[in-house]
Structure 1
Amino acid sequence: MPHLPAPGPTSVRTTGDYYQWLVAWESCLTLLRENATRSHNPIHTVGVELDGVGNLDDVVLLRDAPPNTYKQVKYAVDSTTPVNEEYLTKPSASGGPSILKKIAKTWRELTADGGSADVRLVTNRAADPEDDLMAGRDARTGLLMPKAAVGGAKSLRGKARARWAQEAGVTEAELIDLLSVLRFDLPLDMVRFQENLQLLMTVTGLRHDQQALEKGVGWVAKMVREGHRKLTKTMIEAAVTELELKAGPARAILSIATLKPDPLASEADHAIDWIDRFDGDSDYTKRRPLSPHTWAQLQTDIEAAPGHLPAGTTAVSVTGSIRLAPAFLVGTTFRMVTGTDLAAVQRGRTGSQLWSSNEPFDTPLAPEVIEHEISQGDEIAVAIAVATDPTEDVFEYLDEQNLPVSKLIVLTPPSGTANDGSIPDSAAANALAVGIRDHLRRCTRRVRRMHLFLACPMGLAVLLGNRWNRLCQTIVYEDIKIDDGYEAAFTIEA
């Protein structure tokens, strides 16, 4: 395809405005979800270029009790200006105060009465990995702390702190206080930001296609053009109705990350971050806990999650990057008998879908069944072969480990063929989950333990766990690809 021409001044200006409207629409979504899920101290108003808050006025999230959130939005057309000391401390093009000085001045004013403020610099620029302070940014929080405070006055960080404090017009102690609340939300590039917003629209119970996103962002732009600087809950809810964006209930977000950071972690009602506790250098190799961490510890964390969600939560969406055994455990933690509508965002060939446990279906889908005699004991092994067929690998594992199983039951989609597109949507996933459960109920009535091996879409693993009741004790295995091939992850009473 031909290359795009270099952007002109008008293009840069309008794209920068659009980026700011994306940030504002994100805040509107957060307001809707927090109020719908009865979060503590929810947002009641989203300010856009709000008066009286100094240079942190681009997008403001107002709550009944502090801290309010103040976002400075900066868009760049290319990667020539990473976020580093030079970018933050140099005077503006017109010779005015630097970005850091403006932020520090406004932060001082906002907290002069002893209150608190959540301050954020939102940009599509990346952090400079060579910068003495920015290199210590915590990807989980966006904060430069605690690493920014490490090192004496003669260290590289110490010298950088002194320069930043001088430029900001604050003491080093005040700078540390500022860096404790100043989050660097970056790099939020345009494409990834739009994808994240579509995910957030999904769990907020809205349509999440590109057209729906453009409708929401367009409404923000229209409000700003008409002079509305405060977007209230009533206004935002009316816009959702007028734009016909409503698709389902807004959900509490449970973020679980074991492979890579979850873009919705900052929006989550509860987040479990095990990225650094899993063995491997990439999301392709992270398959089991890194010693001394254990599967049992992860099970404890996941099973404690309901207690960390807002009181009265009845609709939950699990987000993040996890493998199949943890996904199944999430389903059993929020089993249907608890009355929770549990959902997972399932990525497929046609984009992302929300697979919800409350999705109606006509009749259960009975899986195709293949049974293999093992004759090593009186327990049963089950392989869910939906995305791919793991039969050969499971056979090998059962033999090498001499597991006490009488047979291996392989369950495939009704078509009998395992492939990535075998489950088209949420209704089919629920129907198949019920069909699998019902079949296993019949053939495990006199079995005390089941060994479960999963090769299916993540969403099906969640929904299958959600329906997992009136069954025997289940040991769920994770495919670790190395050593023995599989590893027992969780033991579940069903």
Structure 2
Amino acid sequence: MAWEACLTLLRENAARSHNPVRAVGVELDSVGNLDDVVLLRDFPPNTYKQVKYAVDSATPVNADYLTKPAASGGPSILKKIARTWKQLTTHGGSVELRLVTNRAADPADELVKVCDARTGLLMPKAAIGGDGSNRGKARVRWAEEAGLTEVELLDLLSVLHFDLSVNMVKYQEHLQLLMAIAGLLHDQRALEAGTGWVAKMVRNGQRQLTQAMVEDAVEELALKAGPARAVLSIATLKPDPMAPDADHAIDWVDRFEGDSEYTKRRPLSPNTWDQLQADIEAAPGRLPAGTTAVSVTGSIRLAPAFLVGATFRMVTGTDLAVLQRGRGGSQLWTTNDSFEDALAPEVAEHEIGQGDEIAVAIAVSTEIVTDVLEYLREQNLPVSRLIVLAPPNGKANDGSVSGSTAANALAVGIRDHLRRSARRVQRMHLFLACPMGLAVLLGNRWNRLCQTVVYEDIKIDDGYEAAFSVEA
């Protein structure tokens, strides 16, 4: 947790974020019981974390866990948190409090079960229900144990985040992503080096880690790998764990059709693709002034990924990065990764004869020619031919692009081929079947072409749907 806070400090200061973390406290003095990890900023709110780790899941988080007096006879966890909250807000200041644990929420507890999965807050649902309801009775019990009025309890629950069921393996993966975004090496060795440094500092009695200390540690441990990046979070399929740390977040999860990340493929009416395009294209202006390096996090399909790349097109001078997950683990694919020669794709063409525009299928990860041909003919799109661009070996599969260098080389090869093929064409219809990272890199290189309509594979009705129109 302390190393995570150090990474936040590095990234926010390098990215010139508003009110960045200036120092990290570890078991910090004079801040009550929420002293395990403290993120100190120039202006409120500071973040105070209490970390509770359990070796098993025998004790869930519920009223009994929170209100039970300590084994030594001292106050309960809830009473300690309430006292600290009152102490920190004595003069009316704002704070952010977090109880972090690998314990799970008790689904039978009247208050804990309403915890919002995105924010970790029990509010606003904790306030619903009269005094005679089960939830109302639970509020009374919590308030009495905390030594608060019910109104004060609800104020506390408005700033107390419950970060529950923290899985150590997934948490380490999250830390490695943060390290990549902070411009550091992010393999297991690098992660252990960073956390080991924090442990050493604490053992030596250092309770506050400053920016200079963390930067010196990065230098001494040889962890530096690239620039620290501003974070743009875009989620349409499932909530993005990075959203709370992002410099700008676009959350469309509830604005897409479907009950799961596997079925969410298009906006839920009355939401539209045009609205999503407007939100994405406004993103550069929402990031810190002077941003030149951006990391895109979250869960999006290929059409939005392409649009993100096009929004931060290479001509804007932005170094864009995306975490690409694959069989060998996660890699950071960036638009600034150099390569010697462009990779020319394998090309096939199919005559359509329905107009003077063209259709393009990027068939890199899977074969889509049959589906695209069927869609073009059924919809009578005004295209003369379909150009199919596959990997250089012609075999479309999940492993056809080996990494960031190859993806950049292939993106340039695809673009260059289309510049020649579409030189006299007014409009292009683009269908994508490729790694998400390649869609971002391709959009980033998409210039000196023609107006491009980007389609999303929606798997229902007509199979595809026009999502965005990009001027190129």
Q: Does 1:126 align with 2:101?
A: no
User: Post-superposition shift, 1:128?
Assistant: 2.2
| Aligned equivalents of 1:472, 1:441: Cα separation in 2 | 9
* DSSP-derived class of the 1:248 partner: coil
| Aligned equivalents of 2:353, 2:69: Cα separation in 1 | 77
Whether contact under 8 Å (1:367, 1:436) holds in the other structure is yes
After superposition, give the CA deviation of every residue in 1:316-344 in whole Å (9 maximum; x if it has no partner).
00001111011001101111111110010
| Aligned equivalents of 1:152, 1:47: Cα separation in 2 | 40
Q: Does 1:81 align with 2:44?
A: no
Whether contact under 8 Å (1:203, 1:250) holds in the other structure is yes
| Aligned equivalents of 2:308, 2:10: Cα separation in 1 | 25
User: Post-superposition shift, 1:176?
Assistant: 1.2
Whether contact under 8 Å (1:82, 1:128) holds in the other structure is yes
- 2:444 match: 466
- 1:4 match: none
Q: Does 1:210 align with 2:179?
A: no
- 2:164 match: 186
TM-score scaled to structure 2, two decimals?
0.98
| Aligned equivalents of 1:378, 1:78: Cα separation in 2 | 65
Q: Does 1:238 align with 2:212?
A: no
After superposition, give the CA deviation of every residue in 1:351-407 in whole Å (9 maximum; x if it has no partner).
111100011111111111100000011111100011111101111111111111100
Whether contact under 8 Å (1:319, 1:344) holds in the other structure is yes
* DSSP-derived class of the 1:272 partner: strand
Whether contact under 8 Å (1:44, 1:62) holds in the other structure is yes
Where does 1:31-430 land on structure 2 (aligned, <5 Å)?
A: 31-430=9-408
User: Post-superposition shift, 1:425?
Assistant: 1.1
- 1:18 match: none
User: Post-superposition shift, 1:156?
Assistant: 2.4
User: Post-superposition shift, 1:162?
Assistant: 1.4
| Aligned equivalents of 1:381, 1:239: Cα separation in 2 | 52
Once structures 1 and 2 are overlaid, which stretch shifts more, 353-362 or 141-150?
141-150
Count of aligned residue pairs for this structure pair: 472
- 1:437 match: 415
User: Post-superposition shift, 1:282?
Assistant: 1.6
Whether contact under 8 Å (1:327, 1:461) holds in the other structure is yes
* DSSP-derived class of the 1:352 partner: strand
| Aligned equivalents of 2:114, 2:452: Cα separation in 1 | 43
| Aligned equivalents of 1:291, 1:96: Cα separation in 2 | 54
* DSSP-derived class of the 1:222 partner: helix
Structure 1 runs (4+) deviating above 3 angstroms are: none
Q: Which amino acid aligns with 1:28?
A: C
After superposition, give the CA deviation of every residue in 1:173-195 in whole Å (9 maximum; x if it has no partner).
11111111111122211111101
Give unmatched runs, 5+ long, in structure 1: 1-22
Identical-residue share of aligned pairs (%) = 78
User: Post-superposition shift, 1:130?
Assistant: 2.4
How well do the aligned residues superpose, as a CA RMSD in angstroms? 1.0
After superposition, give the CA deviation of every residue in 1:68-111 in whole Å (9 maximum; x if it has no partner).
11000001112222222221111122222111110000010000
* DSSP-derived class of the 1:353 partner: strand
User: Post-superposition shift, 1:439?
Assistant: 0.9
| Aligned equivalents of 1:390, 1:113: Cα separation in 2 | 63
2:428 paired residue among 430, 440, 450: 450
| Aligned equivalents of 1:129, 1:312: Cα separation in 2 | 46
| Aligned equivalents of 2:350, 2:369: Cα separation in 1 | 10
| Aligned equivalents of 2:28, 2:209: Cα separation in 1 | 10
User: Post-superposition shift, 1:474?
Assistant: 0.8
Whether contact under 8 Å (1:71, 1:119) holds in the other structure is yes
User: Post-superposition shift, 1:116?
Assistant: 1.2
Q: Which amino acid aligns with 1:394?
A: V
* DSSP-derived class of the 2:192 partner: helix
User: Post-superposition shift, 1:409?
Assistant: 0.3
After superposition, give the CA deviation of every residue in 1:418-454 in whole Å (9 maximum; x if it has no partner).
1111111111111111111111111112111111000
| Aligned equivalents of 1:153, 1:307: Cα separation in 2 | 47
TM-score scaled to structure 1, two decimals?
0.94
User: Post-superposition shift, 1:151?
Assistant: 2.2
Q: Which amino acid aligns with 1:106?
A: T
Whether contact under 8 Å (1:125, 1:189) holds in the other structure is no
* DSSP-derived class of the 2:359 partner: strand
- 2:8 match: 30
